[in-house]
Structure 1
């Protein structure tokens, strides 16, 4: 007996593999408190996700993309991805497109802050939530959204954390992920990787494209987003909890990554 499951309008015949039996060119799927499987999956439709509340991590191509509140992520057709979040509440809008335009933009993962006009368009489109029948206005409106995306994405603004493929570097990343509050002990990290300090620095930069210090900064800011979302701490407390000795140092580091100042609301 076949045990197919329907998720976001797509049919999951087996874990991680979805098939599309919907004839519509595009549709929208919204849920108040989003619960998504955390295993990697793929589907033919391209995906535009708007994070209206909370935040999401998207694990794609050996990278972890943080998509905070009021940001969108574009995932090309057939791109394997995994989604996780520690946010208390997650409110998402998913737009699934059967095809896209032949421009370079649509072939790559894109994450950017949602401009007001796009936000209003997506919120208006929510009136078609989970409607899988044909609708002329919807078809034209969704095509306009899709066509306009490259113009809305003037500058990517997101936290992207690389994941190394070299197994020797995994204990290094795990240690930093657990001890991000403290400054780097490069000798200890080299010992965990079972290589010299110079080799560790060279191989880590080659594998991830960033330095160990930059990786620490990314992890600290990632953790700060989680703490801010909890709404239990002041910004000074958040900064201290992730390893910064002053609010100004935390704010400066946050801004350099996120291109906006941290806010508790």
Structure 2
């Protein structure tokens, strides 16, 4: 990789470390068919990313955050992160802020669905993509988006995939990730971790904040979102492919995680514009 790489207006002087040549307090960068750098990087600006088509995974500290279509993620300044996606097409808008309010909200990562009013605001703001000239309307409008974020946020913590620090639990997560379509066998997983089933449940919950069963459900639903994005399968086919015995069981599980049904997601994907 060469030095002095430009990414969203920032300059990468050293791999993963960006300097900021932009004088604006905030600016917009919209990219159709987003390309990813699959390594951690950090910069001094707070980052609001809006996925208007496709989906993205963001790796931040000990968690992986799924940001589906029509969702945003807020990443505080100076927080290392990287992103990836298996989606065929990702449209992404990034707004980068040099200064943010001194509220707790802006010190943490947040992922949430975009309400209609915020989606309209982001759509309007896209007209300033890659504009680095002083513009009063741009300044005030982007500040309005920033200041309203805490009010728009209806956070979905189920979109976070926890990564345990206990090395004994890593093979358990890998086993579930690779065989998500099959029912969980706690006794088998416990033997794999060289502990009792009771200890596995207790340590897994303490490490990740969720049960083994909840982790399994979460992985199934995240895999189904990837399949919906491919536009190749019916919802019934996807339900069976991720391990559910019926569409109704899949729909109920999906709704518990996503706060909306899979039909709504499929409709958004099918009607998305390039």
- Which TM-score applies when normalising by structure 2? 0.94
Tell me what 2:272 maps to.
none
CA deviation profile, 1:161-198 (whole Å, cap 9, x unmatched) = 11101111111100100000001111221122122222
**Aligned match of 1:173:** 173
- Post-superposition Cα deviations, 1:147-173, rounded to whole Å, max 9, x if no partner, equal 111111144465111110111111110
CA distance in 2, matches of 1:208, 1:121: 35
Is 2:19 aligned against 1:11? no
Within 5 Å, give how 1:147-226 maps onto structure 2.
147-156=147-156, 159-226=159-226
Q: Deviations over 1:90-109 (max 9, x none)?
A: 00000000010111111111
Q: For residues 2-26 of structure 1, what are the alpha-carbon distances to aligned partners after superposition, in whole Å with 9 as ceiling and x for unaligned?
A: 8211100011111111111211100
Counterpart in the other structure of 2:95: 95
Residue pair 1:254, 1:261 contacting (<8 A) in 2 also: yes
Equivalent pair of 2:49/2:95 in contact (CA under 8 Å): yes
Is the contact made by 2:113 and 2:154 (CA closer than 8 Å) also made in structure 1?
no
**Structure 1, residues 56-78: CA drift from partner, whole Å, max 9, x if none?**
01111211111100011111111
Any stretches of 5+ residues in structure 2 without a counterpart?
A: 268-274
Q: Distance in 1 between matches of 2:36 and 2:5?
A: 13
User: After the TM superposition, which of the residue ranges 152-161 and 202-211 deviates more from structure 2?
Assistant: 152-161
Runs of 4+ in 1 over 4 A off after TM superposition: none
The answer to whether the 8 A contact 1:157-1:259 is kept is: no
Aligned length: 264
The TM-score, its normalising length taken from structure 1, stands at 0.97
Q: Please tell me whether the aligned partners of residues 27 and 95 of structure 1 are also in contact (alpha carbons under 8 angstroms).
A: yes
Q: Matches of 1:63 and 1:157 in 2, distance apart?
A: 11
- Rounded to whole Å, the distance in 1 between the matches of 2:156 and 2:204 is 24
In the alignment, what sits opposite 1:37?
37
Contact 1:157/1:258, CA 8 A, preserved across alignment: no
1:6-155 equivalences under 5 Å are 6-155=6-155
Q: CA deviation at 1:244?
A: 0.3
CA distance in 2, matches of 1:70, 1:154: 13
Shift in alpha-carbon separation, 1:166–1:246, aligned structure 2, 3 A:
same
Q: Secondary structure of the equivalent of 2:262? A: coil
CA RMSD, 1 decimal: 1.2
CA distance in 2 between counterparts of 1:189 and 1:133 reads: 57
Instruction: Answer yes or no: is the 8 Å Cα contact 2:110–2:155 preserved in 1.
Output: no
Contact 1:12-1:19 within 8 A present in 2 as well: yes
**CA distance change for structure 1 residues 190 and 156 in 2, over 3 Å: closer, same or farther?**
closer
